[in-house]
Structure 1
Amino acid sequence: MFDIGAVRLGQFVLHSGRRSPIYFDLRLLVSYPAVLRQVAAAYALVLRRLQFDILAAYPYAGLPIGTAIALEMNIPLIYPRKTAKSYGTGKQVEGVWQVGQRAVVIEDLITSGDSILQAIAALKAASLQVEDAVVLIDREQSGREMLAQAGYNLHAIISMRQMLGILERHNRITAS
């Protein structure tokens, strides 16, 4: 991911408002099909251990990842909108699902947990059950704890600390 520019070093303001010397631009995955396929396979390894009926990918970065996972695993995908449509059907959740189905939230990463909790709220309002969320990267900035306090399980493919350790061992970054 470092090689495609999805891991950037510098000074960044995150969606949460926090400042960070590292930024994960996972929206770039859509431009690298081979990398996106590898990411989907990594999610699939985690997802095969969970109990769920349907994938629920949160826009924007989570949606292409969710689509790749749906194709990899042949599992239906829905997506909760950030706001309900003001035209057409007016749906807050797009796709086909049945009341009571178990959805697993797919997101690119977690920082504070706010976006995943927003996704869960929209899914629950649509009468879906949610217990789990899966992310590629846990930034380790209290998101896991926030989800746990709300009664949800977070499954991360890799933590930020692990990612930085791998990059350092492969001489992509230095400890300083």
Structure 2
Amino acid sequence: MQEIKNIDIFSKVLYDTGSIKVGKFLLASGKSSSIYIDMRKLLGNADGFKMIGNLLSQKVNELSKHEKLDVIAGVATGGIPWASIIAYLNSIPMAYIRQPKGHGTDSKVEGADVSNKYVLIVDDVSTTGGSIINSINTIKMQKGIVKSSLVIVDRGEGAIENLKKEGVDLHYLFSLKDILNSLLNQKLIDVGIYNSIIFELYGD
């Protein structure tokens, strides 16, 4: 019952903050889509930010019972605020992965040292998993160890399978399909839009 409540609250917050949009969008994966989730907008909603931060922290607590987690690493830029709140709430060192700027230390990994450490990669949304895989490779170049990754929303478009090929598990709070179902049940989107998006994404 609690999981259903969380998805409905989350979906409503996405809708109210304009974090979920219907139209024509080009995703970071290179795919085009009729639906886009902009988690950066959620940062401007204190209640939503707090809710997701707490849920992510709880998820990491569960993961830490089964595997070693030495560093929380955010994928720039979408994963950084969420990695920050997880690291703070769970008292785990934080790092973030970015593109080198060509000046200063020109480091690809900032923050905590990841060498010989078990690193949890954090991003906001996963589609094909490309950004996370790039981050995994960067961490490995720094001699870090990655067994798991965590996102708020998985779109269900191959990320789980692609990361599994890299030997990395993808954990998530909500699936896009569950979000769409919740929006439909709350009458926040009509059935025509729902059906067209579901068909585009999953073919059913």
State the TM-score, normalizing by the size of structure 1.
Answer: 0.94
Shift of residue 98, structure 1, vs aligned partner: 4.9
Deviations 1:8-27, CA, capped at 9 Å, x for gaps: 11221211221211100011
Aligned pair 1:99/2:112, yes or no?
A: no
Task: Note the residue ranges of structure 1 that are not aligned, 5 or more in a row.
Answer: none
Q: Which one-letter code corresponds to 2:141 in the other structure? A: A
Q: Which one-letter code corresponds to 2:52 in the other structure? A: V
Determine the C-alpha separation between the residues in 2 that align with 1:78 and 1:98: 8
Shift of residue 45, structure 1, vs aligned partner: 1.9
Q: Show the counterpart of 1:24.
A: 37
Q: Show the counterpart of 1:12.
A: 25
Determine the C-alpha separation between the residues in 1 that align with 2:86 and 2:114: 20
Shift of residue 28, structure 1, vs aligned partner: 1.2
**Partner-residue secondary structure (3-state), 2:140:** helix
Give the RMSD, CA atoms, in angstroms. Answer: 1.3
- Given candidates 3, 15, 20, the residue that maps to 1:2 is 15
Q: Show the counterpart of 2:52.
A: 39
Q: Which moves more between the two structures, 113-122 or 36-45?
A: 36-45
Aligned pair 1:61/2:75, yes or no?
A: no
Change (3 A) 1:7 1:98: closer
- Given candidates 162, 173, 177, the residue that maps to 1:146 is 162
Asked whether the equivalents of residues 37 and 68 of structure 1 are also in contact (C-alpha less than 8 Å), the reply is no
Q: Show the counterpart of 1:117.
A: 133
**Partner-residue secondary structure (3-state), 1:115:** helix
Determine the C-alpha separation between the residues in 1 that align with 2:58 and 2:179: 18
Change (3 A) 1:33 1:76: farther
Task: Note the residue ranges of structure 2 that are not aligned, 5 or more in a row.
Answer: 1-13, 193-204
Asked whether the equivalents of residues 36 and 68 of structure 1 are also in contact (C-alpha less than 8 Å), the reply is no
| Structure with the greater alpha carbon radius of gyration | 2
